Amino acid sequence: MAGDLPPASGGTPQAGPPSAPQWVPVFPNQPSPRPGAWPTAALAAIAFLVGTAGLIVALTRPTSSPSAISPTTSTLPKYSVEEVSAAHTKLCSAYGLAARAVQIATNGDNPALSGIATVNGALILEHTVSTTPAIAAGDRDAALALAEAYSNAQATATTVQQRDDPLWQSTIADVNSKDGAMKKVCGR
């Protein structure tokens, strides 16, 4: 069986390892430690310490601040009859000024002045309400409703093309309704 032996062997079997290199398994390289890992750990430790210190400070502070009062125990400020009366007078004076300016400008022929008067009327009412805390709740609601109606009217006026537009007519009806409520508040 000469065919079984390799041709270069001269007929004798070879002793020792075969002439071809033997397969050696390749293992993936181990990742080298990142040199930037310690700053991250240090920052995490500092953040933990600062957070802990903040929690300790927050828990040891007295809870007598206004934010700690529950809504069920808070009361509305009480105003004297004179303060409420003065606030009512101030609101009605502001309403009279705003309503008169809107009436004059919207019945004129200058749309720009009409828009300015309407926006100013809304601002006058809103400013008076926000700077006069003794205004009664009903009066406040009526004034803010009219201010909103004025604002909506000005916004709608820029989008409609004709005075007989149904959207414009409903907007004007809303302003007139809210103005009627303010007239009742102010006894006009």
Residue spans per domain, the chain: 81-186
Supply 110's token pair.
């200058």
pLDDT digits (tens, 9 = 90+) for 83-139: 999 999 999 999 999 999 999 988 888 888 888 888 889 999 999 999 999 999 999
CA distances to 55, 60, 68 from 63, in Å: 14, 9, 6
The Cα 114–Cα 97 span in angstroms is: 15
pLDDT above 60: residue 24? yes
d(Cα 113, Cα 93) in Å, to the nearest integer? 22
81-186 fold: Four Helix Bundle (Hemerythrin (Met), subunit A) (1.20.120)
Across the chain, mean pLDDT equals 79
Tokens (6 digits) for 135: 């205004």
The secondary structure of residue 158, as a DSSP letter, is T
What residues contact residue 6 under an 8 Å CB cut-off, 6+ apart?
14
Q: Which residue has the higher pLDDT, 10 or 155?
A: 155
Asked whether the whole model's pTM tops 0.75, one would answer no
Residue 10 has what pLDDT?
53
The reported pLDDT for the residue numbered 18 is 57
